[in-house]
Structure 1
């Protein structure tokens, strides 16, 4: 039984990790083998097998775990620690996975709980965002690229400035592509609460971006007047 389960799951994992389709297609494949993964994790007993499974998870989801840690804390050094601690917990809880959610949702839930524990630490008083360095541009195409990056930075700054409860819902929905049901299960809240927080988060970001656009227009108008008078 164990050999057959391991064989099926290993082939499934190889198909997933080697799949050349879109990331969403790969996630759908992952969902299809949740039960197989559970059977595999339940039957493996050797440290080598468990290490191999953890290695696969880290290669596939390491970036997601780190990014989510950073989105929640807004601190790179802390995100490093949280991601490491999260995977330690994953290693310890491999046999707890029951296939009731996608592997990705399970990992993000562990990551979120680890981040919340870190944020509760008494020494963490504030978060400092390091402003990105803006390169001088030497051509119109470079200028356009710089403006595009500035717009993206402004959007992310708006998202990162949201309260954590709004920020995590927006990121899980828009960045990680989680469904309302998956977000509700991950956060332990109702789908109605998810929808409400998502609406408030989007409205807050839109308001901030609109204010930024108006401020930029005012500055441009003032500069135009100054140039006319000079």
Structure 2
């Protein structure tokens, strides 16, 4: 395919055949969910079609598609992260305090959800350089090496940013709760 300001159906088909597996695999690595990777891969090719005029040819088409994949997947995670993840002690709703499953009351479930929402508001206030590694670590449970590979940061930098992000969130969280 030649660099042009337009893509036709056969160009899109060729891109999907040539790079579809790489795009899907990268989306899966970031999201760890095959259904989400399917949706993201589809979105990537739609975005490529809609934004081909912005492709400057400075990088390969594969690199451009993988950059779109990363941005699309991270945007998805940020939205999904707010809805689902609870940082406090690594617990999820429904976990008993002693590690056994229990049936929480509607009130306790509501309070947990409210607390999680407030906590994630603090996470979202973090600068991206701290927020992104924390999201990848806590939400996706990726290893330091995996996060390093995705972000291009050294493993030491990834560890440091996750640690600092947790400290910042904890300090803000404690400060906000001291006011109550």
Q: TM-score, normalised by structure 1?
A: 0.40
- Equivalent position of 2:36 in the other structure: 62
Matched residue SS, 1:148: helix
Indicate the RMSD between aligned Cα atoms, in angstroms.
4.4
Partner Cα distance (1:191, 1:114) in 2:
21
Cα separation, 2, equivalents of 1:175 and 1:193? 19
What is the CA–CA distance in structure 1 between the aligned matches of 2:113 and 2:179, rounded to whole Å?
Answer: 19
Does structure 1 conserve the Cα–Cα contact (< 8 Å) formed by 2:131 and 2:165? yes
1:153 and 2:127 equivalent? no
Give the number of aligned pairs.
120
The 1:176/1:86 distance shift into structure 2, 3 A limit, reads farther
**Number of the residue aligned with 1:182:** 146
Q: Relative to structure 1, is the Cα distance of residues 108 and 203 closer, same or farther in structure 2, using a 3 angstrom cutoff?
A: farther
Matching residue of 1:84: 43
Equivalent position to 1:110, from 69, 79, 85? 69
Equivalent in the alignment of 1:197: 161
Residues 1:109 and 1:208: Cα distance change in structure 2 (over 3 Å): farther
Q: 1:113 to 1:146 in 2, by over 3 A?
A: closer
Change (3 A) 1:146 1:64: farther
Deviation readout 1:67-124 (Å, 9 max, x if unpaired): xxxxxxxxxxxxxxxx8347755xx9xx959xxxxxxxx97983238879xxxxxxxx
| 1:65–1:108 CA contact under 8 A, matched in 2 | no
Deviation at 1:172, TM superposition (A): 0.6
Partners of 2:44 and 2:69 within 8 A in 1: no
Structure-1 separation of matches of 2:124 and 2:132? 9
Q: Distance in 2 between matches of 1:177 and 1:107?
A: 21
8 A contact 1:155–1:209 mirrored in 2? yes
- 1:90-101 aligned at under 5 Å gives the runs none
User: Are the counterparts in 2 of residues 86 and 114 from structure 1 also a CA contact under 8 Å?
Assistant: no
Partner of 2:83: none
Deviations 1:7-31 (A, max 9, x none): xxxxxxxxxxxxxxxxxxxxxxxxx
Distance 1:181 1:141 in 2: 40
Unaligned stretches of 5+ residues in structure 2: 1-12, 28-32, 53-60, 76-103
Following the alignment from structure 1 to structure 2, what is the Cα–Cα distance between the partners of residues 108 and 179? 21
